[in-house]
Amino acid sequence: MSPAASQPADGATPWVLTLSCPDRPGIVHAVAGLLAEHGGNITESQQFGDPLSGLFFMRVQVTSPAQRSELESALAALSDEFDLTWSLDVAGRPVRTLVMGSTAAHCLNDLAFRQRSENLPVELVAVVSNHTTLEPLAEFYGIPFHHVPVTAATKADAEARLLELVEELDVELVVLARYMQILSDDLCRALSGRVINIHHSFLPSFKGARPYAQAHDRGVKLIGATAHYVTGDLDEGPIIEQDVERVDHSRAVEDLVALGQDVERRALARAVRWHAEHRVLLDGHRTIVFR
């Protein structure tokens, strides 16, 4: 959706640079200087200094005729001076994404439709599921479908298969689109920062199973959904996006489930877009989202 995603007429490349480092004066000037030296024209820039962690975060979109290697060399030099953690990518490049699902189709349908029609910058390279319900939908959108059944006995094999696919397909992002299986600690670590889950409650309310039933029982007046990075600590990973929808006493649990699908897919789609556009940076167990 960003205008910078399109190639400028003059052959310059639209880059997106994200970085974080200990906060101190001069960072912005140094980065702006590096980019100016490489003919860069900054089209979007955001920054944030966290007084609690003492860290500084920055995201810059810039068009520059420079080669990637030139920019990377310059950034490496700057990195030594400012102790930067940084990444550089072509703005708008589709991120190679694998979607894991179970039987509910709403999140996959939404992501696939937005990828096709709304320029969601992902390339959906695989759908993995322990059921076959989603196969026709994946097929309709031309996404290879992999049926990987999971039982208590085969869980380790299933996760090994998933890691194989991630490897083979150069997967950059795994989306748990109502996958309903808990990933092992080892898998969480192996894919750290690369797995987004949609939890069907407004976390930290209603962790764990059957959140809509919990919400109904508590009599809440808004239901919610939370898109977050997956860590070994279930439903405790860094939150990327949340949204809610108003409900009232007349709604049964199954109504909340149906209404919640809209909230889930909205929150998930935004989180995936922001991740794919390199707008999400980690600040401890919290996220910086440069929207």
Task: Please report, as residue ranges, which positions from 224 to 253 form the binding site for a second copy (by CB under 8 A).
Answer: 224, 238-244, 248-250, 252
State which residue, 129 or 261, has the beta carbon closest to a second copy: 261
> Does residue 160 belong to the site contacting a second copy (CB under 8 A)?
no
> How many residues lie near a second copy (CB under 8 A)?
71
State which residue, 1 or 90, has the beta carbon closest to a second copy: 1
Q: Is 276 buried (19+), middle (13-18) or exposed (0-12) by CB count in 10 A?
A: buried
To the nearest whole angstrom, how small is the minimum distance from the Cβ of residue 60 to a second copy?
Answer: 9
CA-based angle 120:243:194, to the nearest 5? 50
Does residue 124 contact residue 177 with C-beta atoms inside 8 Å?
A: no
DSSP 192: T
State which residue, 198 or 288, has the beta carbon closest to a second copy: 288
The CA–CA distances, whole Å, from 21 to 53, 76, 81, 155, 157 equal 10, 13, 10, 39, 39
- Residues with active-site annotation: 235
Three-state DSSP state, 287: strand
Task: Please report, as residue ranges, which positions from 110 to 139 form the binding site for a second copy (by CB under 8 A).
Answer: 113, 117-119, 136
Q: Is 204 buried (19+), middle (13-18) or exposed (0-12) by CB count in 10 A?
A: exposed
Does residue 117 contact residue 105 with C-beta atoms inside 8 Å?
A: no
Task: Please report, as residue ranges, which positions from 76 to 105 form the binding site for a second copy (by CB under 8 A).
Answer: 104-105
Task: Please report, as residue ranges, which positions from 10 to 49 form the binding site for a second copy (by CB under 8 A).
Answer: 24-26, 28-29, 32-33, 35-36, 39-49
> Does residue 170 belong to the site contacting a second copy (CB under 8 A)?
no
State which residue, 169 or 283, has the beta carbon closest to a second copy: 283
Phi first, then psi, for residue 209 (nearest 5°) are -80, 155
Question: What are the residues facing 50 on neighbouring strands?
Answer: 55
State which residue, 182 or 220, has the beta carbon closest to a second copy: 220
> Does residue 274 belong to the site contacting a second copy (CB under 8 A)?
no
To the nearest whole angstrom, how small is the minimum distance from the Cβ of residue 250 to a second copy?
Answer: 6
To the nearest whole angstrom, how small is the minimum distance from the Cβ of residue 178 to a second copy?
Answer: 12
Provide the mask over 202-221, with x wherever binding to a second copy is found by CB under 8 A and - wherever it is not. Answer: xxxxx----------xxxxx
